[in-house]
Amino acid sequence: MAGWVTTLIILVLGAGLVAAFMTAQKRGISLPQAIALIKLRIPFRLHLPEGLDAADGKSDRPVIHVYARQSGLDAAVIWSVLDRTCLHVLHEDDQRSLSLLGMRLLARTAPAGDTAAIEAALSQGSSVSIALPPQVEPAPDTLARCNQIAALARKHKARLRALHLRGSSQSLWSAHPRAESPRLLWPRFRLAQSGLLDFDDIIPPENGASAPRDEDRIHDLLALARLNSNDFERGLFLAFRDAADRYGKAGPVLEDALGGKLSYKRLMIGARALGARFEQISKPGEALGIMLPNANGVIVTFLALQSAGRVAAMLNYTAGSAALVSALTTAKINTVLASRAFVEKAGLEPQVAAIEAAGVTIIWLEDLRETISPMEKASAFLNWRRPLQPVKASDPAVILFTSGSEGTPKGVVLSHRNLHANAAQAEARIDISVCDKLFNVLPVFHSFGLTGGAILPLLYGVRLFLYPSPLHYRIIPAVAREVRPSIMFGTDTFLAGYARAAKDTDFNSLRLIVAGAEAVREETRKIYRERFGAVILEGFGMTEAAPVAAVNSTSHNKDGTVGRLLPGMALRLEPVDGINDGARLFVSGPNVMLGYMLASDPGALHPLTDGWHDSGDIVAVDEDGYIAIRGRAKRFAKIAGEMISLGAIELMVQKLWPEYAHAAVAVEDRRKGERIVLVTTKMPALREELRDYSRRFGATDLMVPAEIVNVPEIPVLGSGKTDYVTAQKIADEWISSHRAGETTR
């Protein structure tokens, strides 16, 4: 028996050596590197990116590889795949680690901060790998270190590349505290890289966009490598399954105001069981409408459709019956999934009647759940890890409808990859962990509420609390006091309303708030900073970008801007006649939609022809890459031949009367082409006071509204944005009646 065991061991070792020799030959690395690579690849199922090999050592240009060190194994993995002559600058913990003793004996290494050793290696044409701290949002000293690395690259004509090893943060050698990163015995490793940055090849950005600083270039490379370490070539159901594997032992991850709590496994079992019913009532790829509030059931239903290979059409039940039926027609939806209890509580009987009158079937989920047999539940329990239907990452996953703040809503078709990529882009820019709890009051029929408020936290282990309506200004602060979230999403309108109703201790658990959809006023920032100790990070997005396109972060934050573009995205600026301090923004990236569905061509996908989406926004980009919104292209008035930003007028008025809400619109004027009407809740709002302030503000006389209309409240969409269509109607009706009165007199 012992002889057989010895023979088996010899055969296994021999096969391993043969495999190592072949790997060394194929990848151009040394035999010890190949042995280390195989030893890491088998238990950790290490996935390597295409194009990363030892070819750097054969080039006449060295490469500086930088990586955010997630664990004590990162250096070993990186050593095993790079050129044998590469100098590895180790973190101080790695210099003492027994696990890396073999690497230190066989590889060229240097301690952190040994600039002389780095200079010597680069001078010889050897590549270098440098470990940086693991945080997504770098501290000032880390950015200073990045600036030093960039200077070395410029001096020695070296190129730069970032690497990221996803999964190692959950290994037993993790550099993160256990509370922030749960440990797994054999987590799956995925090594990713950014592209190569060559300072000699840098050309001025196209169409006026400014170039970032050197340290920000490296920061962006690190973010891009982190983004690329995600697996986007799978559907959302499998992405959630991967999250369950990584974070599933942490307990309940999803809660709602009804008191329900779900773990990853229970969430996916429910989705698998419900998805089997959706298979029976629909065809593969068919879009089914979802008319549900922010509660656990909407996430289960959404994930059930992804498991069944169907498309979730998120319906805005606050938009009114006409808009709801228009959305159903545009996307050719034959079935709507709803809840009787929700319809009764929210008073949605008119919408239900309109849906049924349009010939659309409503499936009541309470009834559907009752039909699921014990055998089907058992099957879902046993097969919860597998989706019911295979899907491609490029397949449609969801249809969201634009807010209609400026016209008829369109259906925006987003793929599994679009949604996953946008969540990953945000995770590559903002530090989040399993220690966080996100309080989401934004409805999931809104893109920010769905991707940022549901998909992002659940994909990355952040506990999620769903609240059904953002309009409960007095209730939400009290709920936050009980839930104690660390992160919250909102709009300026909602956040200001919560602050007015809140006690000083209601939001003291918050560390950051991400705000979008409208500009954040300085008064709102100040209130949350001084009363609650929370930082508001302003971002910018559009439904067509799934939705986030740019965001500020703790390390990169500039008031008055919406932050810097997310990793993996590109922008193009096109000049607009009459506008000198901004240009029209076009964006592209993995998160940009598949295309539109239009009311004029129901059910048909109108794809982007060249991958670029016209945002319709006028923006300015400063020398550090921060984007400032000047306004919507449609929200500029042409007065006496000059383009005037309605958004700038609102900003000016808001500074004068900060406690009130305002909307500026343009109406036809026979003499000057257009004139501006201010719709405001300020009573009385005196034009003379506004004119005097505009001069102190530095505005031109053309920016002073010609007419002022008082209203008890500014119309707001369910997403929190100002409803400019309704505001325009208010102004038009006031002008019409005013002119009629003048004619009568």
Give domain status of residue 2, yes or no. Answer: no
Cα–Cα dist 33/46, whole Å: 15
* Residue-level pLDDT at 519: 77
In this predicted model, what pLDDT tens digit does every residue of 426-442 receive, in sequence order?
A: 999 998 999 999 999 99
> Do 88 and 52 belong together in one domain?
yes
Which phi and psi angles does 393 have, rounded to 5°?
Answer: -60, -25
Quick check: 154 pLDDT over 80? yes
Which H or E run includes 500? Answer: helix 492-501
Among residues 154, 162, 189, the alpha carbon closest in space to that of 174 is found at: 189
Residue 206 CA to chain centroid, in angstroms? 25
Confidence band, pLDDT 50/70/90 cuts, at residue 659: confident
Quick check: 290 pLDDT over 60? yes
Cα–Cα dist 157/168, whole Å: 32
Give domain status of residue 9, yes or no. Answer: no
Give domain status of residue 5, yes or no. Answer: no
> Do 186 and 297 belong together in one domain?
no
Cα–Cα dist 459/467, whole Å: 19
> Do 370 and 303 belong together in one domain?
yes
> Do 618 and 650 belong together in one domain?
no
Quick check: 391 pLDDT over 60? yes
Among residues 516, 518, 588, 513, the alpha carbon closest in space to that of 548 is found at: 516
Give me the mean pLDDT over the 342-368 stretch.
91
> Do 385 and 455 belong together in one domain?
yes
Structure tokens at 350: 């008119």
Contact in structure between 395 and 425 (CB atoms under 8 Å): no
3-state DSSP assignment of residue 254: strand
Give me the mean pLDDT over the 232-237 stretch.
93
In this predicted model, what pLDDT tens digit does every residue of 310-346 receive, in sequence order?
A: 999 999 888 778 888 888 999 999 999 999 999 999 8
Give domain status of residue 1, yes or no. Answer: no
Give domain status of residue 272, yes or no. Answer: yes
Among residues 560, 557, 561, 585, the alpha carbon closest in space to that of 216 is found at: 557
Which H or E run includes 436? Answer: none
Contact in structure between 405 and 725 (CB atoms under 8 Å): yes
Structural domain of 299: 236-630
Q: Is the peptide bond before 111 cis (omega within 30 degrees of 0)?
A: no
What does each C-alpha distance from 152 to 89, 142, 199, 549, 729 come to in angstroms?
14, 15, 11, 32, 60
* Residue-level pLDDT at 670: 60
Give domain status of residue 80, yes or no. Answer: yes
Cα–Cα dist 185/10, whole Å: 27
End-to-end CA gap in the chain = 115
* Residue-level pLDDT at 699: 63
Among the listed ranges 85-94, 176-185, 374-383, 644-653, which one has the minimum average pLDDT value? 644-653
Which phi and psi angles does 528 have, rounded to 5°?
Answer: -70, -30
Contact in structure between 494 and 515 (CB atoms under 8 Å): no
> In residues, how long is the chain?
745
Give domain status of residue 220, yes or no. Answer: yes
> Do 432 and 534 belong together in one domain?
yes
Give domain status of residue 608, yes or no. Answer: yes
In this predicted model, what pLDDT tens digit does every residue of 710-723 receive, in sequence order?
A: 888 888 766 566 77
Task: Work out the mean pLDDT of the chain and round it to a whole number.
Answer: 85
**Taking the CB of residue 368, how many other CB atoms lie within 10 A of it?**
15
- Which residues partner with 71 through β-bridges? 174
Q: Is the peptide bond before 684 cis (omega within 30 degrees of 0)?
A: yes
What does each C-alpha distance from 47 to 189, 230, 245, 663 come to in angstroms?
6, 11, 17, 52
Domain of residue 735, CATH code: 3.30.300.30
* Residue-level pLDDT at 745: 41
In this predicted model, what pLDDT tens digit does every residue of 165-223 receive, in sequence order?
A: 999 999 999 999 988 888 898 999 999 999 898 887 665 555 455 556 888 889 999 99
Quick check: 743 pLDDT over 70? no
Give me the mean pLDDT over the 474-490 stretch.
91
For the chain, the domain total comes to 3
Give me the mean pLDDT over the 471-496 stretch.
90
> Do 568 and 492 belong together in one domain?
yes
Max avg pLDDT among 20-29, 47-56, 605-614, 730-739: 605-614
Confidence band, pLDDT 50/70/90 cuts, at residue 129: very high
3-state DSSP assignment of residue 134: coil
> Do 594 and 728 belong together in one domain?
no
> Do 648 and 701 belong together in one domain?
yes
- Which residues partner with 628 through β-bridges? 620
Give me the mean pLDDT over the 453-476 stretch.
92
Cα–Cα dist 117/249, whole Å: 44
* Residue-level pLDDT at 2: 64
What does each C-alpha distance from 439 to 159, 182, 485, 521 come to in angstroms?
42, 22, 6, 21
Cα–Cα dist 735/745, whole Å: 15
Domain of residue 131, CATH code: 3.40.1130
Among the listed ranges 11-25, 237-251, 357-371, 499-513, which one has the minimum average pLDDT value? 11-25
Quick check: 406 pLDDT over 50? no
Cα–Cα dist 317/315, whole Å: 6
Q: At which of 193, 211, 228 does a domain end? A: 228
Percentage of the residues of the chain whose pLDDT score is greater than 70: 87
Buried b (16+ CB within 10 A) or exposed e, 607-640: eeeeeebebbbbbbbeeebbbbbbbbbebbbebe
Domain of residue 274, CATH code: 3.40.50.12780
* Residue-level pLDDT at 475: 92
> Do 73 and 209 belong together in one domain?
yes
Cα–Cα dist 438/441, whole Å: 10
Give me the mean pLDDT over the 371-399 stretch.
92
In this predicted model, what pLDDT tens digit does every residue of 297-320 receive, in sequence order?
A: 999 999 999 999 999 999 988 877
Confidence band, pLDDT 50/70/90 cuts, at residue 744: very low
Q: At which of 576, 603, 630 does a domain end? A: 630
> Do 69 and 182 belong together in one domain?
yes
Q: At which of 194, 228, 262 does a domain end? A: 228
**Which residues does 228 contact at the CB level (< 8 Å), separation at least 6?**
49, 164, 192, 193, 194
In the block, tokens 């296994």 appear at 12
> Do 480 and 353 belong together in one domain?
yes
- Which residues partner with 613 through β-bridges? 587
Cα–Cα dist 267/381, whole Å: 11
